[in-house]
Structure 1
Amino acid sequence: MKIAMRSLLALLASAMVSPAFAAPASPAGPGGVELIMLVVMMVVFYFFLIRPQQKRAKEHKSLVENLGKGDEVVTSGGILGKIAKVTDDFVVVEISNNLEIKLQKQSIQATLPKGTIKSI
């Protein structure tokens, strides 16, 4: 048992101390290329993902701020209705005769041209 343990320890020690036979590293070129590629990727990311999202958020905020009584709207759930009352954070939407629901302003997805609901 002791001999097996010694040979195992000797094998582990030789594995840890064995020289690496890897090829020597080539000298690194100028680091500017990697930096330029990183900056280009960040610019592309900004213009294709971040900026369009900011634009949509700004348009939606403008839509929500300009809601008024009588506007015909579509909710994010697809419900069509006419705004009956507007408060700071909520709107009351009439979706049928004498049927009103109270929604958060943020759930309004779009406004419709006047008369759209009657034509459907």
Structure 2
Amino acid sequence: MIGTAYAQAAGGAAGNEFLSLLPMIGIFVVFYFLLIRPQQKRAKEQKAMMEALQKGDEVVTAGGVVGKVVKLDENYVTLQVNGTTEISFQRNAVTALLPKGSIKQI
């Protein structure tokens, strides 16, 4: 009699196991659309911006340094931060491209 009760409970629970997985699947879908997908989009835009850098562009680095690109290398970028000072950064330290004329005087 007890064995029969277990057998019936196991047969009825098989349909409920799938239903119990639906909230987990839903959470994964929400995380994908709210977190993963936008982050991939930003990374793609950042990579495209770094590849499109050229001499004369005005940029901001991760440390907040604003300057004009004077020399580009495969891995490094050299910025002119005032009339005579040039600083080299890793190319991935450039975080934003500024509109032309943003820097008042260099």
**Larger Rg: 1 or 2?**
1
**Distance between the aligned counterparts of 2:27 and 2:98, measured in 1?**
39
**Distance between the aligned counterparts of 1:60 and 1:54, measured in 2?**
10
Of 44, 57, 68, the residue aligned with 1:82 is 68
CA RMSD across the alignment: 1.6
Q: Name the SS of the counterpart of 1:74 in structure 2.
A: strand
Percent identity for Structure 1 against Structure 2: 46
Q: Spell out structure 1 runs of 4+ moving beyond 3 A.
A: none
- 1:97 offset after TM fit, Å? 1.0
Could you tell me which residue of structure 1 aligns to residue 93 of structure 2? 107
Which structure has more RCO (C-alpha within 8 Å, separation ≥ 6)?
Answer: 2
**Distance between the aligned counterparts of 1:117 and 1:79, measured in 2?**
11
Could you tell me which residue of structure 1 aligns to residue 33 of structure 2? 47
For residues 42-64 of structure 1, give each alpha carbon's deviation from its aligned partner in whole angstroms, at most 9, with x where no partner exists.
11111111111101100000010
**Distance between the aligned counterparts of 1:105 and 1:62, measured in 2?**
12
Listed as ranges, the gaps of 5+ residues in structure 2 are: 1-8
Listed as ranges, the gaps of 5+ residues in structure 1 are: 1-26
Q: TM-score, normalised by structure 1?
A: 0.73
- 1:94 offset after TM fit, Å? 0.4
